Structure 1
Amino acid sequence: MKELFVSYPYLFVFVMAFFNWFMTFLGSTIVFFIKKESQKLVSISLGSAAGIMVAASFFSLILPAINELDNKPTYFLLIIPLGFLLGGLFLRLCDLLLPHEHLISHHQEGLKDSHLSKTNLLMLAMTLHNIPEGLAVGVAFAGNGQQLLSAIILSIGIGIQNFPEGMAISLPMHQCGISKSKSLFYGQLSALVEIPSALIGYSFAKMMGTILPFALSFAAGAMIFVCIEELIPEANATKEIDVGTMSFMVGFIIMMTLDICLG
């Protein structure tokens, strides 16, 4: 597998990012099988997705970043908290500028003079959410094959969390009065951004190979921002607080187990 990656790195990254989109598509199709509103199912979807993302940020991004600096002077490790902070600030800036609406609470953020529809606001929210996931996958594969297994585990983990994430997009849209077909369409469309984001992240990290630890921690910071600002509050925005919390725990355990068993 390493030989295949070395020979066709962009194709490899594309396939893994496509897998992540496809898992979102599969999750979005659940809207056709749910006959009535289920806030509990949405809370489970958001909580488990958040748990997987938090675990992936630590086990598949921050730890590999630390390993990359293993033979460097200790002060080089400051690159990691700096990258983490800037990743969060980057998403915060996007949050301030791009108009979007939260799935459950329907709280709107970004520029207030937007004339976008509710559907488009929801779409922008989930697109903003998926950008750091794509960047994380691309950056993780930029380590010249040295962290290949860790990058594959990260991609698998994001793919797994994209399934409940697809549900968490399409179900609330349908509950807002949008047809099941359109809910599926918008649900999978929000994840398409992960493919170009992964390719851009890989290209950027390869061109600037010496800052790979920074890029890894930057991606981790962006993902953690999404979890704390979007997924976790939304999972607990209904009466199903305990369900969202326990789903987070299960999601974290799934990703941690993948890393322990495969890594």
Structure 2
Amino acid sequence: MNLLFLIVIFTALGGVLSVLAASVFLLLPDDTRAKILPHGVSFATGALLAVAFWGLIPHAFEEVGVTQIQPLSGAIMLGLLMFFILEKLLIWRHCHSGSCEVHGDTDEHGHGHSHGSHKSAGTMIIIGDSIHNFVDGVLIAAAFLTDVKLGIVTSLAVAAHEIPQEVGDFAILLHSGYSKAKALFYNVLASLTTIVGGVLAYYSLGDLQDSLPYFLAMASSSFIYIAVADLIPTLHKKTDIKTSLQQIALIFAGICLIVSLHGVAHDIQLDGVENEATHQHSS
């Protein structure tokens, strides 16, 4: 199957479809949405960590020689610092809990109490998501250009963490005065930048094969930072035994799913290679 076609399909999965999936939560009562969201955050934490440490980082190191191991490790470290700085500048801001300095605090029911302009917070969400989704598209394309199975699990991990984020973003946009229709429209519009990033990366990164391991390193930095800096602190807000055990179970579920999908994608890719080789031999 054409690689560009795969990139378009899976960047759409990581962007547009995650928004549409998150939009289902708009139909739920606030209390129900507040109960479901933390479970999605726990699952996304495991998925992101698994993709970073089981998929992206090993593949990045496989692509470079022994002399490049230290520079590649440095790229991962610099990536973490870069995402910290971006978040400080309010460009890369994820509100999974519905409470942050940019968007204002929320009560236990998810209702916001903004400290500034509601419209400004909504605009910041749309701009931030557009940039974030564009970068996600580049990272997905880089993963596909390295290995098809890596591209598949990377796009699934993007979708896993995008869904709970988009649910939070919907809540913020609604509180900022947007109607449900406009909130959905602007979120879908912002998600299209994932496809744009993937297509542009396909045409530019293809000629920069030596740089692909460093894009994978940046992708792993992104996933690790989101999991450790944004998602895990949210999970620590609940400390009772029952909730903690649920969080641990869902984190491991996210890890197991990505590891399993990685194996399935590997088998599918091997079958495709064997079939192609058989076809060429017979012809």
TM bin (shorter chain):
0.7 to 0.9
Alignment-derived partner of residue 34 in structure 1 = 28
RMSD between aligned alpha carbons? 3.1
Alignment-derived partner of residue 22 in structure 1 = 16
Residue deviations 1:215-240 (CA, integer Å, cap 9, x gap): 21122112222222223323444678
From the superposition, tell whether residues 259 and 99 of structure 1 become closer, same or farther in structure 2 (CA, over 3 Å). Answer: closer
Check the 8 A contact 2:94/2:165 in 1, yes or no: no
Alignment-derived partner of residue 252 in structure 1 = 255
CA distance in 2 between partners of 1:140 and 1:171 (Å): 31
Q: Does residue 118 of the first structure (1) align with residue 121 of the second (2)?
A: yes
Which stretch has the larger CA shift, 131-140 or 186-195? 186-195
CA distance in 1 between partners of 2:232 and 2:205 (Å): 29
Check the 8 A contact 1:134/1:197 in 2, yes or no: yes
- Which of 54, 62, 68 is equivalent to 2:57? 62
Residue deviations 1:40-95 (CA, integer Å, cap 9, x gap): 212122222232122112233111112213xx3x2322232122122223323322
Alignment-derived partner of residue 205 in structure 1 = 205
Q: How does 1:151-170 map to 2 (within 5 A)?
A: 151-170=151-170
- Which of 57, 72, 83 is equivalent to 1:80? 72
Alignment-derived partner of residue 48 in structure 1 = 43
The structure showing larger relative contact order (alpha-carbon pairs under 8 Å, at least 6 residues apart) is 1
From the superposition, tell whether residues 13 and 261 of structure 1 become closer, same or farther in structure 2 (CA, over 3 Å). Answer: closer
CA distance in 2 between partners of 1:97 and 1:53 (Å): 23
From the superposition, tell whether residues 134 and 262 of structure 1 become closer, same or farther in structure 2 (CA, over 3 Å). Answer: same
Check the 8 A contact 1:174/1:180 in 2, yes or no: yes
What secondary structure does 1:117 align onto? helix
Check the 8 A contact 1:21/1:195 in 2, yes or no: yes
From the superposition, tell whether residues 187 and 228 of structure 1 become closer, same or farther in structure 2 (CA, over 3 Å). Answer: farther
CA distance in 2 between partners of 1:204 and 1:234 (Å): 37
Check the 8 A contact 1:48/1:164 in 2, yes or no: no
Check the 8 A contact 1:31/1:180 in 2, yes or no: no
CA distance in 2 between partners of 1:84 and 1:228 (Å): 14
Identity of aligned residues (%): 19
What secondary structure does 1:106 align onto? coil
Alignment-derived partner of residue 85 in structure 2 = 93
Q: Which runs of 5+ in 2 are unaligned?
A: 104-115, 267-283
Q: Which runs of 5+ in 1 are unaligned?
A: none
Query: Which amino acid in the other structure matches residue 192 of structure 1?
Result: L
Check the 8 A contact 1:100/1:122 in 2, yes or no: no
Residue deviations 1:149-191 (CA, integer Å, cap 9, x gap): 2222322343344444433432454467754333433443443
CA distance in 2 between partners of 1:202 and 1:249 (Å): 33
Alignment-derived partner of residue 192 in structure 1 = 192
Higher-Rg structure is 2
What secondary structure does 1:207 align onto? coil
CA distance in 2 between partners of 1:55 and 1:99 (Å): 25
Alignment-derived partner of residue 111 in structure 2 = none
Which stretch has the larger CA shift, 124-133 or 25-34? 124-133
Residue deviations 1:196-228 (CA, integer Å, cap 9, x gap): 222344344323211221221122112222222
Check the 8 A contact 2:90/2:102 in 1, yes or no: no
From the superposition, tell whether residues 197 and 88 of structure 1 become closer, same or farther in structure 2 (CA, over 3 Å). Answer: farther
CA distance in 2 between partners of 1:124 and 1:235 (Å): 26
Q: Structure 1 length normalisation: TM-score?
A: 0.77
From the superposition, tell whether residues 261 and 101 of structure 1 become closer, same or farther in structure 2 (CA, over 3 Å). Answer: closer
CA distance in 2 between partners of 1:92 and 1:36 (Å): 31
Which stretch has the larger CA shift, 132-141 or 192-201? 192-201
